[in-house]
A and B are shown apart, each in its own frame.
Chain A
Amino acid sequence: MNWRIVAVGAVIIVPFVAVLASGFGKDPREVPSVLEGHPAPDFALETAEGGQVISLKDLRGHPVVLNFYASWCVPCAQEHPWLVKISKIYQPRGVTFLGVIYNDEVPKVKGFLRRYGQNYPTLQDPSSATAIDYGVAGVPETYIIDGQGQIVRKFVGPVSPEEFESTLEALL
């Protein structure tokens, strides 16, 4: 065996395989979250029922849970009843829960809420400007914002109940 060829081959192949291996370990669809630890972008959005505007600025001092969802999204339907249930526990303790419609129509969302329950306001985001401000790449995405308006946690996909509760407990 020609050890020189083996050594040269190893020098070329090993870093290449290492790069590929590190890439294979990641989900190519996962969008990195860069907003954690940064101030949450402000918004003033009208509720799905209409006539009321909720602004993030007015909610300072209390943790906020912001859930982007859509009626056409299957994981949202799985997650929503749990969020409704958990909101009943945390809202009395001062946590504000808000839903934001992502690329969907209000009547369809109303049907979704009738089916899966409603315990907190849902906001309209007609041009998805707020979703883009929050770096939303798909739904569901859930943000936990502390009383100072900093994003402390972002959940891509359905929230993990344990992490969700432990994050909120740390804020209360």
Chain B
Amino acid sequence: MKLLLLMSWCGLARAQDGADASAPTAAVTEPATADLAPAGPAPLAEPPANAPPTSDDEIDRLTDEISTGLRCPVCQGLSVNDSPAEGARSMKARVRDLVSMGYTGQQINDYFVERYGTWILLAPPAEGANWTVYLAPIGFLLVGAFFVAWAGRRRPHRTPMMWRGPTQYTPTQYIPTQHTATIWSRIASGSWRNSGCETMGRWHELGRLGTATGRTGPRADHRPCRRHALHGRDQRRWPVGGRADAR
């Protein structure tokens, strides 16, 4: 207080000595020591909800906790607590002042939101358009799960497509010569004709059935039903010892 009084006196003396032309022209209140005294932190309009914390450790802990949730206005993606910027340090000091007066985290957050908007909060409140931030990840997860399920369902259909075409899929390439007679005898006896789609597929696979497109293979002009579609290693091993043969 003595220092403040001295400062105000010095200021007065200088103001009286000065009387220069560049003196400020705004309405200036004469200094009163009572006015100079509250240069420190101003309390908020509402009273603190809590009693002031008693220990410095408690004040520091609350200050860190609250300022971690506040966004540093001059940095990108840093909290007030983490930022070394001057502006953020001032804000942290303000938080500390308010904490030491007994204001709660909610009151302090409200104080900053009133001045900076919800922008100042690193975790925006779940309301209005902000719900997008909270719901979008769940939505993306659901869409992803749906896509995976859908792709998995389609897999038996799609894989044989890769083997389609005369260059990749020819009887000589995939059907060992020693099995050809077996296949033909089975087809001739009708023992493979237990399901329509499969039998037609087999004929194409053998390259014996011509198609309008000139293609051979199970999907040349005939789409095997999902249940009988062969894929992956089953198809390579087909027809002897493969899945179809085991049936």
Cross-chain contact B38 with A58 (CB below 8 angstroms): no
Q: Is A103 an interface position by the 8 A CB rule?
A: yes
Q: Is B29 an interface position by the 8 A CB rule?
A: yes
B25's partner among A53, A120, A135 (CB-CB below 8 A) is: A120
Interface size on B, residues (CB 8 A): 47
The residues of B that contact A78 with a CB separation of less than 8 Å are none
Cross-chain contact B26 with A96 (CB below 8 angstroms): yes
Give the residue name and chain of the B residue nearest to A30 (CB): B119
Q: Is A150 an interface position by the 8 A CB rule?
A: no
Give A42-95 interface residues, CB cut-off 8 Å to B. Answer: 43-47, 49-55, 58-59, 62, 91
CA distance A55 to B116 in the complex (A): 23
CA distance A59 to B7 in the complex (A): 24
Q: Which residues of B contact A (CB under 8 A)?
A: 7-15, 18, 22, 24-32, 35-36, 38-42, 73-74, 76, 86-87, 90-91, 93-94, 97, 112-117, 119-120, 132, 143
A-B contacts, 28 listed (Cβ < 8 Å): A12-B143, A31-B116, A31-B119, A34-B117, A44-B38, A45-B39, A47-B24, A49-B15, A50-B8, A50-B14, A51-B8, A51-B9, A51-B14, A52-B28, A52-B31, A53-B31, A54-B26, A59-B27, A98-B26, A119-B25, A120-B26, A127-B41, A128-B90, A129-B90, A129-B97, A137-B73, A137-B116, A138-B87
Q: Which residues of A contact B (CB under 8 A)?
A: 12, 19, 28-29, 31-35, 43-47, 49-55, 58-59, 62, 91, 96-98, 103, 118-121, 126-129, 131-138
